[in-house]
Structure 1
């Protein structure tokens, strides 16, 4: 598996999702979102997991949009805020309600410890890919050459430090959120030790 083998959906919704992420995310968070899709799509292809590329791509581009100032909610966890943004985005893209709901589910579930691949392949892939990119889970599941290509094309730009600050802020303001649980369980240490940063 090489970077050139990963299919990027060329649909109006996919292009618009990248445009939204580019406008609102920091450079580090944007590259993280792009890598989240690339890791997810590569893993799916390598492991025979059928997935909806457009749905996965849009969800990856918007999965952390709830962390940015313009969409940060004071009432719900950032992944739920991101899910709401995705629902609205899907409405603007002309997606049926069921597809909008799916995008929101995929984004919310990326924070789960595990997502059943049979019930939600896109959620499973995004949970797995973000776990790799943020806290360094299972890098051995990806060929070293692919890891080098992806990181060379879309560098990390200090995402570890930036994301740690974001997640700590979310935890402080939303103590019942999954983010707060992650902080209590030592996510900052796992982020700092991510082998992708070496």
Structure 2
């Protein structure tokens, strides 16, 4: 598996990225581990196609660790991306990353499912977001050749990701509904969770404790 990852990444895997791979493998079920690896490989290719200069180590670790809290053990209290971002930042600080690179890792994880922001951040964050969104919803899939996409998927199969990811999203809504009202999990609550009702931003504005 590691040889396959190195071959597709196009470079010899350094110890820091290997540790992130091992951590992701230990934290994620197989379908999700394959997803984070594919997302990273797609992000690398988007960077090459678009000629985006970036820190390859930051991109790798941020993308590999972006879903370490997306599992049925998660129960909040904050949204899973923020909890995961804190864990990822602690991980790279132990590797000796400085504050700037650690913050890029945090942003990569926290914003990976918010492309309306993440795609406009620093190159490492934008590429991470792009790779993740390509693998989940096919965003900008035509930027990479069909043959290359197929090779990556064959090497790291999806393993019924749509079904398994949906089940996990629904679990998060059921276990920690307060973390889902202002993000994409709200859609899964509306569609799949009986009696789910997200807090409305309109109600919040109207209920603000001011006289105007």
In structure 2, distance between residues paired with 1:30 and 1:143 = 23
In structure 1, distance between residues paired with 2:57 and 2:161 = 25
In structure 1, distance between residues paired with 2:126 and 2:82 = 17
The Cα offsets for residues 35-88 of structure 1, whole Å up to 9 and x where unpaired, read as 000001101101111111110110111100011355x24211111111011111
Mean CA deviation greater in 28-37 or 138-147: 138-147
State the Cα distance separating 1:161 from its structure 2 match: 1.0
State the Cα distance separating 1:165 from its structure 2 match: 1.2
Q: Give the equivalent residue in structure 1 for 2:48.
A: 45
The Cα offsets for residues 160-187 of structure 1, whole Å up to 9 and x where unpaired, read as 111111122223323324132343687x
TM-score normalised to structure 1 length:
0.83
User: Are the structure 2 counterparts of residues 9 and 82 from structure 1 closer, same or farther at C-alpha, using a change threshold of 3 Å?
Assistant: farther
In structure 2, distance between residues paired with 1:9 and 1:104 = 25
Aligned equivalent of 1:76, options 75, 78, 101: 78
Q: Which runs of 5+ in 2 are unaligned?
A: 1-5, 192-212
Q: Is contact 1:87–1:104 with CA below 8 Å preserved after alignment?
A: yes
Aligned pair 1:32/2:35, yes or no? yes
Q: Give the equivalent residue in structure 2 for 1:67.
A: 70
Aligned equivalent of 1:178, options 158, 162, 183: 183
**What is the DSSP-based 3-state SS (H/G/I as helix, E as strand, rest coil) of the residue aligned with 1:16?**
helix
Q: Which runs of 5+ in 1 are unaligned?
A: 187-198
In structure 2, distance between residues paired with 1:85 and 1:68 = 14
Q: How many pairs align?
A: 184
Mean CA deviation greater in 115-124 or 44-53: 115-124
User: Are the structure 2 counterparts of residues 68 and 117 from structure 1 closer, same or farther at C-alpha, using a change threshold of 3 Å?
Assistant: closer
In structure 2, distance between residues paired with 1:125 and 1:151 = 19
Q: Give the equivalent residue in structure 2 for 1:135.
A: 137
Mean CA deviation greater in 134-143 or 36-45: 134-143
* Superposed CA RMSD: 2.4
User: Are the structure 2 counterparts of residues 119 and 128 from structure 1 closer, same or farther at C-alpha, using a change threshold of 3 Å?
Assistant: closer
In structure 2, distance between residues paired with 1:69 and 1:116 = 25
TM-score normalised to structure 2 length:
0.78
In structure 1, distance between residues paired with 2:11 and 2:117 = 23
In structure 2, distance between residues paired with 1:56 and 1:6 = 12
State the Cα distance separating 1:129 from its structure 2 match: 1.5
